[in-house]
Amino acid sequence: MALRAVVFDLDYTLAVPARDRETLLREAAAAADAPELSRNAYLDAHRRNLTGETREPIFRELLAEHDTDADPADLAAEYRRTIAAALEPVSGAAGLVRDLRERYRVGLLTNGPVRAQRDKLATLGWEDLFDAVVISGDLPAGKPDRRAFEAALGALDVAPAEAAYVGDEVEADVGGASDAGLAVVQVVWPDGPDPDPRADAHVDRAELAAALPGVLDGF
């Protein structure tokens, strides 16, 4: 089948924080009078809490390991504000999406709580950039679960063989999209995840806007 749709990941694919996430987590914890939290522990808790409205369940789980009166809801709000304020688009990302929409249906499939991911889109000015936005917080399961990709395909009204997925994470993006039957473009960058052989193509994030249209032409 001919390619009819392109689905993007958000974080570290189309947008990146200006400072590292460990620093942002530490700043948010300090602002919420919470103890310093491990970034690795946060990531583990995040993977167990891919659905829902906010990050509050993530921080409730993390704070339970500490003797603290910090409020998980306050910490979730501080982290959401800290992340949104630090977020920057990848060079040419918005123009890339607009250009692709002249040829394809273009969607976004992103893991995370609804409020956090919507805040990122608002900060970037991208609320109307895509034909469809699917956030794992609204779903029964997030990436790499097949149901997440099926939700994005359904929102764009295309079959798996008619779509390509563009993302950076090895299991959530490359593995999940491949298992769901989509073509996969892995976004790579220095010190990022290694190129995965399950991807149909690899594109350096710094060259994404220039290189991706040609890669998609080859599918």
Considering the domain architecture, whether residues 74 and 169 belong to the same structural domain is answered as: no
pLDDT for position 178: 98
Decide which of 160 and 55 is more confident.
160
Considering the domain architecture, whether residues 31 and 47 belong to the same structural domain is answered as: yes
Considering the domain architecture, whether residues 107 and 207 belong to the same structural domain is answered as: yes
pLDDT for position 50: 78
Considering the domain architecture, whether residues 103 and 75 belong to the same structural domain is answered as: no
- The pLDDT tens digits for 141-187 are 999 999 999 999 999 999 999 999 999 999 999 999 999 999 999 99
CATH label of the domain that carries residue 162: 3.40.50.1000
Q: What's the pTM? A: 0.90
Q: Which domain holds residue 79?
A: 21-86
pLDDT for position 84: 86
Q: How would residue 15 be classed by pLDDT, with cut points 50, 70 and 90? A: very high
Considering the domain architecture, whether residues 56 and 115 belong to the same structural domain is answered as: no
Q: How far apart are alpha carbons 56 and 62 in whole angstroms?
A: 10
Q: At 107, is the secondary structure helix, strand, or coil? A: strand
The CA-to-CA distance between both ends of the chain, in Å, stands at 9
Considering the domain architecture, whether residues 125 and 199 belong to the same structural domain is answered as: yes
pLDDT for position 106: 98
Considering the domain architecture, whether residues 146 and 172 belong to the same structural domain is answered as: yes
Considering the domain architecture, whether residues 79 and 182 belong to the same structural domain is answered as: no
Find out whether 5 and 162 touch, Cβ atoms under 8 Å: yes
Q: How far apart are alpha carbons 18 and 130 in whole angstroms?
A: 23
Q: Would you give the distance in Å from CA 99 to the centre of its chain?
A: 21
Split into its structural domains, the chain has a count of 2
pLDDT for position 47: 87
CA distances to 14, 195, 210 from 91, in Å: 8, 21, 10
CA atoms within 13 A on the CB side of 21: 11
